[in-house]
Amino acid sequence: RTTPEQRGKAFKRWDTNHDDQLSLEEYKAGLQGQDDLDARFKRFDKNGDGILTGEEFTNPTSK
Protein backbone atom coordinates (compact mmCIF):
# COMPACT_ATOMS: atom_id res chain seq x y z
CA ARG A 1 0.00 0.00 0.00
CA THR A 2 1.14 3.52 -0.75
CA THR A 3 0.49 6.62 1.31
CA PRO A 4 -1.38 9.70 0.04
CA GLU A 5 1.95 11.56 0.08
CA GLN A 6 3.59 8.93 -2.13
CA ARG A 7 0.62 8.98 -4.52
CA GLY A 8 0.77 12.78 -4.64
CA LYS A 9 4.42 12.67 -5.69
CA ALA A 10 3.69 10.03 -8.32
CA PHE A 11 0.76 12.08 -9.61
CA LYS A 12 2.99 15.11 -10.17
CA ARG A 13 5.65 12.96 -11.87
CA TRP A 14 3.16 11.23 -14.17
CA ASP A 15 1.22 14.39 -15.11
CA THR A 16 3.45 15.05 -18.10
CA ASN A 17 1.37 17.89 -19.56
CA HIS A 18 1.02 19.57 -16.14
CA ASP A 19 -2.76 20.00 -16.29
CA ASP A 20 -3.29 18.59 -12.77
CA GLN A 21 -5.07 15.55 -14.23
CA LEU A 22 -3.93 12.10 -15.32
CA SER A 23 -5.18 10.71 -18.58
CA LEU A 24 -5.28 6.94 -18.97
CA GLU A 25 -2.19 7.23 -21.19
CA GLU A 26 -0.24 9.15 -18.52
CA TYR A 27 -1.36 6.67 -15.89
CA LYS A 28 -0.27 3.69 -17.98
CA ALA A 29 3.08 5.30 -18.77
CA GLY A 30 3.68 5.82 -15.05
CA LEU A 31 2.86 2.21 -14.26
CA GLN A 32 4.59 0.49 -17.16
CA GLY A 33 4.96 -3.22 -16.57
CA GLN A 34 2.23 -3.53 -13.96
CA ASP A 35 -0.81 -5.76 -14.46
CA ASP A 36 -4.46 -4.74 -14.48
CA LEU A 37 -3.84 -1.08 -15.32
CA ASP A 38 -7.32 -0.47 -16.69
CA ALA A 39 -8.99 -1.92 -13.58
CA ARG A 40 -6.74 0.11 -11.29
CA PHE A 41 -7.43 3.29 -13.24
CA LYS A 42 -11.20 2.73 -13.06
CA ARG A 43 -10.98 2.16 -9.31
CA PHE A 44 -9.36 5.59 -8.88
CA ASP A 45 -11.62 7.35 -11.43
CA LYS A 46 -14.59 7.81 -9.10
CA ASN A 47 -16.70 9.92 -11.47
CA GLY A 48 -15.94 7.74 -14.51
CA ASP A 49 -14.83 10.59 -16.78
CA GLY A 50 -11.61 8.87 -17.91
CA ILE A 51 -9.44 11.47 -16.14
CA LEU A 52 -7.88 11.28 -12.68
CA THR A 53 -7.86 14.40 -10.57
CA GLY A 54 -5.27 14.82 -7.85
CA GLU A 55 -8.01 14.18 -5.27
CA GLU A 56 -9.11 10.94 -6.93
CA PHE A 57 -5.54 9.71 -7.21
CA THR A 58 -4.33 10.57 -3.72
CA ASN A 59 -7.56 9.45 -1.99
CA PRO A 60 -8.79 6.48 -4.04
CA THR A 61 -11.31 5.33 -1.44
CA SER A 62 -13.03 8.71 -0.98
CA LYS A 63 -16.06 9.63 -3.05
Q: For the whole model, what pTM was predicted?
A: 0.58
Query: How high is the mean pLDDT of the chain?
Result: 87
Domains in the chain with CATH codes = 4-58 (1.10.238.10)
Torsion of CA 29, 39, 1, 49, to 10 degrees: 80
Res. 60: pLDDT tops 90: no
Q: Which of 30, 36, 33, 4 is nearest to 16 (CA)?
A: 30
Which pLDDT belongs to residue 38?
80
Q: What does residue 28 show for φ and ψ, rounded to 5 degrees?
A: -65, -40
Per-residue model confidence (pLDDT) at position 39 = 83
* Range 5-15 average pLDDT: 93
pLDDT tens by residue, 17-43: 999 999 999 988 988 866 677 888 888
